[in-house]
Structure 1
Amino acid sequence: MNKQIIFNLAVKDLDKSKAFFSALGFSFNAQFSNEQAAFMVITEGIFAMLMTEDFFRSFIDKPLAQAKEANEVIIALSCESREEVDHLIARAAAAGARIPHPPEDHGFMYDQGFEDIDGHLWNLVWMATGE
């Protein structure tokens, strides 16, 4: 069975969030999108459903965390090179992301994170595979 990862993120302004992630090079599948949610394609098998806060609340029975105040998760995405990490960080910053720290270079691993316009934390990482 081919597994996929689909995670849901609450966003304050769906159009602004779509514009932000489009600037990073992600696309959207209109078949699974409407005025309340947008199905974002990150890569083959990895997707995010960006949901307006009200729509997101319809799926939960406890308060919605405000990502600019507290974080529950860091979304980590692998990259094919250090250059890809730097390129995506630059695109995120240009689109309005907050960059909380400089890149970390451990030799075998290189990473840097950003906070999207809704406060969700993303970490971009390249790891040497020995190939």
Structure 2
Amino acid sequence: MSQMIFINLPVADLDRSRAFYEAVGFVGDARFTNQFAACMVLSDEIRVMLLTHGFWSAFTDRRRLDPAAEAQVLLCISRADMASVDAMIKAAAAAGGTADPCPPQDNGFMYGRSFGDPDGHIWEPMWMSADAAEMGPAEMADAD
């Protein structure tokens, strides 16, 4: 079995969050979904677990932050090209998210934007050229 990541996010409204994540390209996995949690699949290795606030509290005693006012992580995901980045931002905004809560970045070899989900969790879809992915962004910047 390949290694997987399950990103756990507390959400205020599970149904609204499920609909939002489906609108930006995630697919629900009914095997790990109930009235307290929804598993949303981005790829074979990446899953997002949307957890109601009450269910989230069963996993940690730490204070839950308000993602609309505070940030603990920025979730960066690769896309196939710049148009796919823009399409994901457009879908997020149309589904009730916030487009570009962080400044867009265009470095020529790397392009990224961001969206906030209905709870305020920030995702950063980005595209990087194959050369930059192989050489590293610092070398690409030096080549300019």
TM class by shorter chain equals over 0.9
How many residue pairs get aligned? The number is: 131
Give the match's secondary structure for 2:22: helix
Give the match's secondary structure for 1:43: coil
Amino acid at match of 2:26: F
Higher radius of gyration, 1 or 2? 2
Distance 2:118 2:40 in 1: 15
1:23-38 residue pairs with structure 2 within 5 A?
23-38=23-38
1:1-131 residue pairs with structure 2 within 5 A?
2-99=2-99, 100-101=101-102, 103-130=104-131
Question: Residue 66 of structure 1: CA displacement?
Answer: 1.0
Question: Residue 96 of structure 1: CA displacement?
Answer: 1.1
TM-score (structure 1 length as normaliser):
0.95
Amino acid at match of 1:113: S
Greater shift after overlay, 97-106 or 109-118?
Answer: 97-106
Give unmatched runs, 5+ long, in structure 2.
Answer: 135-144
Deviations 1:28-87 (A, max 9, x none): 111111000001101111001000011001111121111112110000000010010011
Give the superposed CA RMSD: 1.3
Question: Residue 104 of structure 1: CA displacement?
Answer: 1.8
Distance 1:26 1:61 in 2: 29
Distance 1:57 1:70 in 2: 18
Give the match's secondary structure for 1:96: coil
Amino acid at match of 1:120: H
Question: Residue 102 of structure 1: CA displacement?
Answer: 5.4
Distance 1:24 1:16 in 2: 13
Q: Could you say if the C-alpha distance between residues 77 and 98 of structure 1 is closer, same or farther in structure 2, counting changes exceeding 3 Å?
A: same
Question: Residue 129 of structure 1: CA displacement?
Answer: 1.2
Give unmatched runs, 5+ long, in structure 1.
Answer: none
TM-score (structure 2 length as normaliser):
0.87
